[in-house]
Amino acid sequence: MTTQNPFDGSVYLSPDFSVGFGTVISAPATVLSNMVANGIYFQEIGGDVDVVLINCEKYLISLYKSLSNQRLMQQFVARMTNITTQNKIRWVHRNLALSMTFEQVMKSIGENITVNDTWGTATDLQAINQQLAPRFIQIFAAP
């Protein structure tokens, strides 16, 4: 069942849904906590859904398995880092050990989008999720 996307990362997106809608991730904070506790980096949602959840310490990334997003997962590992008192997601290239912002990594896999790199507030995260929504990516921040 789809619901309107609040852009807080609590829903996952798919091209099967209307623009602006997604399906709720049941208890995303609990899912992230379990993934962290059990050392799981990524897992599929399950069922007949082509969505992967990625554990990024204090962030849960949901992404639809599109060609671009699969390229992203194949070439990069998502890590959380603290930069100037803000927890931010950085993508580390698997072969080159380069650390990149979301915008840099998306451009490196051929997606020409602008992604905000200010992660300080819930409003900042909503802006990032709005920018990533056309690529079927959403980020949930653990409270």
How does pLDDT run across 99-124, given as a tens digit for each residue?
999 999 999 999 999 999 999 899 99
Distance, in Å, from the CA atom of 29 to the CA atom of 96, rounded to the nearest integer, reads 32
Distance, in Å, from the CA atom of 59 to the CA atom of 143, rounded to the nearest integer, reads 10
Query: CB–CB of 126/8 below 8 Å?
Result: yes
pLDDT band at 62 (very low <50, low <70, confident <90, very high): very high
Other C-beta atoms closer than 10 Å to the C-beta of 43 total: 14
Distance, in Å, from the CA atom of 111 to the CA atom of 108, rounded to the nearest integer, reads 7
Amino acid occupying residue 29: A
DSSP 8-state code for residue 131: H
Span 11-48, pLDDT tens digits: 999 999 999 999 999 999 999 999 999 999 999 998 88
